Amino acid sequence: MEGGVDYLADERKKAEFDVQQMKIVWAGSHHTFEISDRISKLVANDPAFSKDERTMLPRKELFKNTLRKASYAWKRINDLHLSEEEASQLRFYVDEPAFTDLHWGMFIPAIKGQGTDEQQKKWLPLAYKMQIIGCYAQTELGHGSNVQGLETTATFDPQTDEFVIHSPTLTSSKWWPGGLGKVSTHGVVYARLITDGQEHGIHGFIVQLRRLEDHRPLPGIIIGDIGMKFGNGAYNTMDNGVLRFDHVRIPRDQMLMRVSQVTRDGKVVQSDVPRQLVYGTMVYVRQTIVQDASCALSRAVCIATRYSAVRRQFGSHNGGPETQVIDYKTQQSRLFPLLASAYAFRFVGEWLKWLYTDVTQRLQANDFSTLPEAHACTAGLKSLTTSVTADGIEECRKLCGGHGYLCTSGLPELFAVYVPACTYEGDNIVLMLQVARILMKTVSQLGSGKLPVGTMAYMGRIEHLLQYRCNVQKAEDWLNPAIVLEAFEARAARMSVSCAKKLSKFANPEEGFAELSADLVEAVVAHCQLIVVSKFIEKLQQDIPGKGVKQQLKVLCGVYYLFLLHKHQGDFLATSCVTPKQASLANDQLRVLYSQVRPNAIALVDAFNYTDHFLGSILGRYDGNVYPKLYEAAWKDPLNDSVVPDGYHQYIRPLLKQQRSAKL
Ligand SMILES: CCCCCCCC/C=C\CCCCCCC/C=C/C(=O)SCCNC(=O)CCNC(=O)[C@H](O)C(C)(C)COP(=O)(O)OP(=O)(O)OC[C@H]1O[C@@H](n2cnc3c(N)ncnc32)[C@H](O)[C@@H]1OP(=O)(O)O
Ligand SMILES: Cc1cc2nc3c(=O)[nH]c(=O)nc-3n(C[C@H](O)[C@H](O)[C@H](O)COP(=O)(O)OP(=O)(O)OC[C@H]3O[C@@H](n4cnc5c(N)ncnc54)[C@H](O)[C@@H]3O)c2cc1C
């Protein structure tokens, strides 16, 4: 509590579980909880990190303010000797998109993943100390999704042992990289490698963009910001940039050479590392985006849940209080599945982080066998979780009625910052189609004796899944995880097999794939939902201490999968995985679970342990003191600086005068 009366105290008393233990489950461990709790408070209590008025600042001031915060954050990180984990928590809780996200989140990982040991030794210490600041310059004006279509060229000049980086067309201008527009001194620039007149595909190059002395662009380089983006404040704190090269020369050893090398005489040598590792940074970031989805969704859900308990509308009896809107079943059926999804994404994000760490360790030992699984899981889950989260934030805004539309609710800015996650790091549909290719390949190999592995292993039981009949007889049967898993597996397998059968009728598989792409995306959604459900169920098999904690998670898990079953009952019925009667029983059980969530709802969002600073929402205040604070905030709007607005004499008075004389 941050002082004063707690208007949600009665709600908190209803909790049937140990909230402190749930906070630890949410954080992942005691250790992460301790760090995130300490650092979030450190940020919240430091006025230099205040977020007030961010949505009202003009772009230049907003950007300068972000620079100030980023530089102050760096000072705090050094003064307090924060570890890497603490530093990244600090940047997270400062909660303002900035060039540092790209420097730490993409530039450094690109060098780590694609640079040789020597290159890492040379560049990483400079980057770690922020003596250089980097961005990830891949997307161009003409191409983003189609990476092979990038036009920037890197032509090897054997005379000088240099690459010549060039933007041959307007559409080859780099366009979008965050941190590029006004800050980065360097970039990992993706370009078409050309040696001896021959093309060798897309590779990354470390290119210095600005002079370290005065920050001016180096000769042959044009850089700027691409302009205002969606929303007030929001992602406009980021300098997404445009960049053009006019025959800019860099030394040969600035091509990232872990995947392929160019020798002194211009020969291209492939190492035994797969080519796809050039895309490795995207796999890394997609994995962090899945973790971030649970943060963004939980944040919106926390706001909507607290406000739904404060807000009362209709239903007063004999002058008593009106009904809290959270008690309306329609409110619960919109809000609680999102609450459950936030927890589900938390656990699948945790698992994905494990998978990524495992793949990285294998890659270091030259074992590339799990790379396709990592690509499929990161691409599919990034798509699924960001789409649900973006829609979920908007649903939370609607759940807060009119006040949700105010900037002071925090929801408009959260939405504006979050929605591009459906596009960056791979457009969600484009990524789903990548997973579809892998799914179809898996189905086509089923007869060959090659057993599917990892998250596709269930396909290995295809005969059984095609014959499966669900044996749910009463609503409570839907609480049995084994029954649920089989139903989700059968649905996903049948949808994939159905697509594969249709595909096989096309003489040209590429044409068939294009024609069936909408159906394929639906099959991929079913496959990805199965992954999330199965990881939630796996989580429940762990030892989870704390009174009532596991029980609450079971309820949320049930809400998550039964909501999906209800929402996608068309899929389940069309594939004969469940009967109409069983679908109806699932919905009956879902209603029972909603009533079990209700008394715990506030405690379940308290378990996210968000400070009021981080939430940035009057509606989501911990103490529920919404109305006086909304009233107070309105008066701080610059429009209320004067009683009579600027422009009155120019525009309003003449209008009123003209109407008066017309009447007379
Ligand atoms: C308010 C809060 C603010 C503060 C928040 C702080 C906390 C934030 C935390 C997290 C958020 C992170 C924020 C990030 C900021 C955003 C920055 C954005 C950056 C970008 O957008 S960078 C640019 C990203 N671009 C893309 O993603 C492009 C998408 N396109 C592609 O990936 C590819 O081109 C393609 C895969 C779609 C197609 O490529 P290509 O034609 O070459 O390939 P195919 O022929 O289809 O496939 C060939 C072969 O390769 C396999 N493959 C493809 N990709 C991969 C991969 N990545 N890894 C491994 N393998 C891959 C594919 O399966 C094929 O295999 P087979 O040959 O069939 O076996
Ligand atoms: C806020 C933000 C930050 C970004 N930061 C960076 C950065 O730091 N560095 C960087 O390099 N890039 C960055 N990007 C660029 C981003 O990665 C691309 O915008 C993204 O990969 C999508 O590519 P695109 O813009 O080419 O979309 P397009 O591919 O042009 O998509 C347009 C439409 O076409 C559809 N489509 C495209 N291809 C297919 C297909 N094969 N089949 C079916 N439908 C298809 C898409 O689904 C979409 O509906 C950023 C973008 C944003 C919005």
SS (H, E, C) 176-192: CCCCCCCCCCEEEEEEE
User: Which residues, listed in sequence order, are joined to residue 134 by a DSSP beta bridge?
Assistant: 186
pLDDT at residue number 434: 98
- Residues 201, 275: contact at Cβ < 8 Å? yes
Domain of residue 592, residue span: 451-606
Residue linked to tokens 């040969």: 252
Residue at a domain's end among 271, 296, 315? 271
Please check whether residue 34 lies inside any domain of the structure.
no
CATH number at residue 462: 1.20.140.10
Count CB atoms within 10 A of the CB of residue 225.
Answer: 16
Residue 148 Cα to ligand 2 middle (Å): 13
Please check whether residue 336 lies inside any domain of the structure.
no
What are the average pLDDT values for consecutive 10-residue runs of the chain, which has 664 residues? 80 98 98 98 98 90 97 98 98 98 98 97 98 98 98 98 98 98 98 97 98 98 98 95 98 97 97 91 97 98 98 94 98 99 98 96 90 97 98 98 98 98 98 98 92 96 96 98 98 98 97 98 98 98 98 98 98 98 98 98 98 98 98 96 96 88 64
- Residues 282, 425: contact at Cβ < 8 Å? yes
Task: Look at residue 279 and give its three-state secondary structure.
Answer: helix
Residue at a domain's end among 560, 585, 606? 606
Alpha-carbon gap, residue 7 to 626, rounded angstroms: 9
Alpha-carbon gap, residue 522 to 654, rounded angstroms: 59
420 Cβ closer than 6 Å to some ligand 2 atom: yes
| ipTM topping 0.85 | yes
Alpha-carbon gap, residue 541 to 559, rounded angstroms: 17
Max intra-chain CA distance, the chain: 93
- Residues 371, 363: contact at Cβ < 8 Å? yes
pLDDT at residue number 232: 87
Report which DSSP code applies to 321.
P
Task: Look at residue 531 and give its three-state secondary structure.
Answer: helix
Nearest CA to 51 out of 661, 616, 451 is that of: 616
pLDDT at residue number 69: 98
pLDDT at residue number 662: 67
What amino acid is encoded at 598 in this protein? R
Q: Which ligand sits closest to the CA of 417?
A: 1
Please check whether residue 468 lies inside any domain of the structure.
yes
Tell which atom from ligand 1 comes closest to the C-alpha of 376: 63
157 Cβ closer than 6 Å to some ligand 2 atom: no
Alpha-carbon gap, residue 652 to 614, rounded angstroms: 40
Residue 283 Cα to ligand 1 middle (Å): 6
- Binding-site entries: 139, 178
Residue 465 Cα to ligand 2 middle (Å): 36
Residue 424 Cα to ligand 1 middle (Å): 9
Residue at a domain's end among 271, 295, 317? 271
Alpha-carbon gap, residue 475 to 578, rounded angstroms: 13
The residues, ordered by sequence, that sit 6+ positions from 14 with a Cβ below 8 Å of its Cβ are 599, 600, 602, 603
What amino acid is encoded at 626 in this protein? V
Alpha-carbon gap, residue 131 to 90, rounded angstroms: 20
Please check whether residue 121 lies inside any domain of the structure.
yes
- Residues 384, 492: contact at Cβ < 8 Å? no
Ligand 1 pocket test: pick from 424, 443, 617 the residue with the most ligand atoms within 8 Å of its Cβ.
424
Alpha-carbon gap, residue 120 to 355, rounded angstroms: 24
Question: How many structural domains does the chain have?
Answer: 2
Half-sphere exposure of 75 (CA within 13 A, CB side): 8
Ligand 1 pocket test: pick from 230, 282, 356, 383 the residue with the most ligand atoms within 8 Å of its Cβ.
282
Alpha-carbon gap, residue 607 to 300, rounded angstroms: 14
Report which DSSP code applies to 95.
T
Please check whether residue 510 lies inside any domain of the structure.
yes
Please check whether residue 189 lies inside any domain of the structure.
yes
Please check whether residue 377 lies inside any domain of the structure.
no
CATH number at residue 262: 2.40.110.10
Please check whether residue 513 lies inside any domain of the structure.
yes
Q: Which ligand sits closest to the CA of 415?
A: 1
Alpha-carbon gap, residue 179 to 137, rounded angstroms: 10
pLDDT at residue number 52: 81
pLDDT at residue number 54: 86
The residues, ordered by sequence, that sit 6+ positions from 658 with a Cβ below 8 Å of its Cβ are none
